[in-house]
Structure 1
Amino acid sequence: MTDKTVYIYASQCIFVCAITYGYQGIHLENAHKWIAIVARYVVYMLIIKGSREACALGYSILQAQETLNIEDIIKHSKKYGFIFIASVVILLYNKQRILDEDFLLWFIAYLVTKYPEVESNLVNINYGVGMACSYFEGYLVHVIPSDGAKFVGFEENMDKYAAKQGIIFPVKRLFIIITKSMYCPPDLKHFNKANREDLPYLEACQVSDESLEEIEKDIAGVKNRTYRNSAYKIYRPGKPPVYLSAECATPLHTLHRVLQKTALYEDLAKVNVPEVVSDFCRTLGAVISKSPECRDKCELVYYDDMDPKANLASILLDKIRDLEPNFDNLKKE
């Protein structure tokens, strides 16, 4: 618990104690009756809470493609389970019904009080959608299309780099890596599998040639702001390397850093990471597909960096193969 949570909980406990002290209808001889009533209401609240958590989990599995983790579910619900079982035992011991006629009224009252929160969430844009729009307008529109003046555009920038280095980019798109955890390393080689020489692996191009030509623009009062895209190569066992331009989605990386410091950013402590990633992917993909200047020039790549069997270099190769099946036979122009 955070200090704020402890303070609020303690204040409510004091408030309840004050009401109990001042309420004349509570007598010690009726203690078993009051305990049974409280136990029934605890059961009501936990059933309602459990139904909400179950629906949230179902949404995450169906919409956010989150896998069902039984161990995490047990760990999260263990204390609630003990409280629920203890309350049921108290009711059975006192020969009371577990669910009474007023349970339905409790549920309806809960839904009524929850509605303003739901309505607020419908009005407010969520994190994933907002970050996707910001990433597109604040970054992609500056590095993908030509500005008709200084910058020639991403595709021609790739052509210039390829001609200078004597290489081939089989797919002239910016590969945007979106990780499940939102973590983004400073170099994509950190996603390579250690001691697995049988697998393809990523490596940035030479230090002096690792970036495409820099882009300079005057943005929001910043003079000569610099943008650059990195060139990587995928090494394959017994085959020539495959070249591409790739990078991680920096807004997700920023949020990942924020979530490591919830003591500073308390309001974001309960962010649903799978939902944010799903909304970011869906929104960014939709915006790019609607933009004539960026369509077919960016490729979103979802990478489950929490799966020890997943290999980013292999996933990127599969993407390249889908977009250009004959990439191994392409010749330098």
Structure 2
Amino acid sequence: MNSHSKRRTIVQSSDIIPKARGRRAHYAIFCGIILGFVTLYVEGATTYKPILNHFLMFFTISFFMRVIKGICDFCEEIHHVQARYQGKYSKAASACINVKHFLLMLLFGCFFLSQIDMDSLIKLSKPSTVVLVCISHLLLVAFGLQQPTMVEVSEICEKQKLNVAHGLAWSFYLGYLKLVLPNLKKAVSSFNKENSNLLCCEEICKLHILIPLSCRIHSNLSEVDSNIQFVKELPLLQIDRAGVKGRVYKNSMYRIVDEDGRLYYCPVEYATPLHTLYAMSGTTSAGFSSEDRLLQAKLFYTTLKDILENSLDCRNCYRLVVYDDSAISEDEAQNIHFLSREVLWHLEQQAKEEYSPLMHHPSIASSEPELMLSNSESPHSLHSHGT
């Protein structure tokens, strides 16, 4: 008992969990500034005017370079205005160019032009000039004038894979899709045998993963679209995982009705991590805006798409159904059967992709391709012949 207590105390008292960073770096910066002025005094550079002119020149050049860098970034961002800034060029410009940098550049530039005295700058010794450059840079950092723009932060996060969406996509894949997708064809085959061969083409049946860019996720698909009806759960998959014996993973088969009353069957479900993004945007402490949510939803899709395309285990077992429903109310989506149309479009595309390589074969070319379409206008019984 004592050994356990001692071990617990050691773990709790050790610094294995990082704490929030303090302000020691800022204190060090101010110490560096003071040390720089002391060095200037020792060097004998105590004349007011050349030091002021140097600061004005350095600040003007620094802010000018920041604005130039922002203009260069804007040249790239104008090609992403629709996808990243909802078509608003003003948002793209503000993300690239810090307005504070632009105003300070004008301010210091005007002071510099009115006070410029090149002779006084030349009088400074080389060591004094180096010290002044260091002090100038430290002053900019101390007053928060060297912060990266939104574009620079976004670029760093995307390149270093630091986005919320990146972690959610990998978690969704490793914790769920990598487990259920390799077992999907076996589950679909068992389902088909138990339900009188309800599916005509079970070998190409894929899990349709819904990715609404609004991140709105519903528990009941029938409430979202009455043309989508739950049929039955696929056979359960049980795996011992993370200390849980026989953890259950399952998918649901749905019946989808098109405008002509034809019946289609396929497994459908939402990408559940999107609910996290939606909840974060509604939680003040998360500091996550609706615009952040939209961008992260898009990055979630692209990241998950890249992961699955490089996964041999999940190949030909899924379709990502991404759609923008942010401008459509739930009632309107129900009236126009928005969701069922999206899924049916993907089923149609899947049929073309699966059958087009075989169209030269006489048995295929003579008939229209069908995908998971019931053999009759009315749904088959879900009971097997043995029950």
**TM-score, with length taken from structure 1:** 0.61
CA spacing shift, 1:6–1:141, aligned 2, 3 Å = closer
Give aligned-pair identity as a percent: 19
1:86-115 CA distances to partner (integer Å, 9 max, x unpaired)? 344444445699xxxxxxxxxxxxxxxxxx
Corresponding residue to 1:313 among 340, 346, 350? 340
CA spacing shift, 1:61–1:163, aligned 2, 3 Å = farther
Q: Does 1:283 align with 2:327?
A: no
Corresponding residue to 2:349 among 302, 306, 322? 322
Q: Does 1:205 align with 2:225?
A: no
> RMSD of the alignment, in Å?
5.1
Cα distance, 1:320 vs. partner? 0.8
Q: Does 1:248 align with 2:285?
A: no
Q: Name the structure 2 match of 1:187.
A: 219
Q: Name the structure 1 match of 2:323.
A: 303
Secondary structure of the equivalent of 1:216? strand
Q: Name the structure 2 match of 1:78.
A: 99
2:229 maps to a residue whose letter is C
CA spacing shift, 1:6–1:220, aligned 2, 3 Å = closer
Cα distance, 1:245 vs. partner? 1.6
Q: Work out whether residues 213 and 325 of structure 2, in 8 Å CA contact, stay in contact via their aligned partners in 1.
A: yes
Secondary structure of the equivalent of 2:310? helix
Q: Distance in 2 between matches of 1:249 and 1:70?
A: 31
Cα distance, 1:231 vs. partner? 3.3
CA spacing shift, 1:91–1:278, aligned 2, 3 Å = farther
Q: Distance in 2 between matches of 1:250 and 1:280?
A: 13
Secondary structure of the equivalent of 1:138? helix
Please, which runs of 5 or more residues in structure 2 have no aligned partner? 1-19, 119-155, 353-368, 381-387
1:18 maps to a residue whose letter is I
**Structure whose alpha-carbon radius of gyration is higher:** 2
Q: Distance in 2 between matches of 1:94 and 1:26?
A: 18
Q: Distance in 2 between matches of 1:251 and 1:96?
A: 61
Q: Work out whether residues 258 and 344 of structure 2, in 8 Å CA contact, stay in contact via their aligned partners in 1.
A: no
Q: Work out whether residues 188 and 247 of structure 1, in 8 Å CA contact, stay in contact via their aligned partners in 2.
A: no
Q: Name the structure 2 match of 1:138.
A: 175
Q: Name the structure 1 match of 2:355.
A: none
Secondary structure of the equivalent of 1:281? helix
CA spacing shift, 1:297–1:69, aligned 2, 3 Å = same
Secondary structure of the equivalent of 2:233? coil
1:134-162 CA distances to partner (integer Å, 9 max, x unpaired)? 5444323432334xxxx972322452575
CA spacing shift, 1:61–1:131, aligned 2, 3 Å = same
Corresponding residue to 1:42 among 30, 42, 62? 62
Corresponding residue to 1:18 among 28, 34, 42? 34
Q: Work out whether residues 227 and 258 of structure 2, in 8 Å CA contact, stay in contact via their aligned partners in 1.
A: no
Secondary structure of the equivalent of 2:62? helix
Q: Work out whether residues 67 and 102 of structure 2, in 8 Å CA contact, stay in contact via their aligned partners in 1.
A: no
Larger RCO of the pair (alpha carbons < 8 Å, separation 6+): 1
Instruction: Give the alignment of 1:119-198 within 5 angstroms.
Output: 132=169, 134-146=171-183, 153-159=186-192, 163=196, 172-180=205-213, 183=215, 185-187=217-219, 189=221, 192=224
Q: Work out whether residues 188 and 202 of structure 1, in 8 Å CA contact, stay in contact via their aligned partners in 2.
A: no
Q: Does 1:218 align with 2:251?
A: no
1:145 maps to a residue whose letter is P
1:204-260 CA distances to partner (integer Å, 9 max, x unpaired)? 635xx5533332222243111111113344455563454432222334544665676
**TM-score, with length taken from structure 2:** 0.54
Q: Work out whether residues 179 and 304 of structure 1, in 8 Å CA contact, stay in contact via their aligned partners in 2.
A: yes
Q: Distance in 1 between matches of 2:175 and 2:269?
A: 16
CA spacing shift, 1:185–1:29, aligned 2, 3 Å = same
Q: Distance in 2 between matches of 1:231 and 1:260?
A: 31
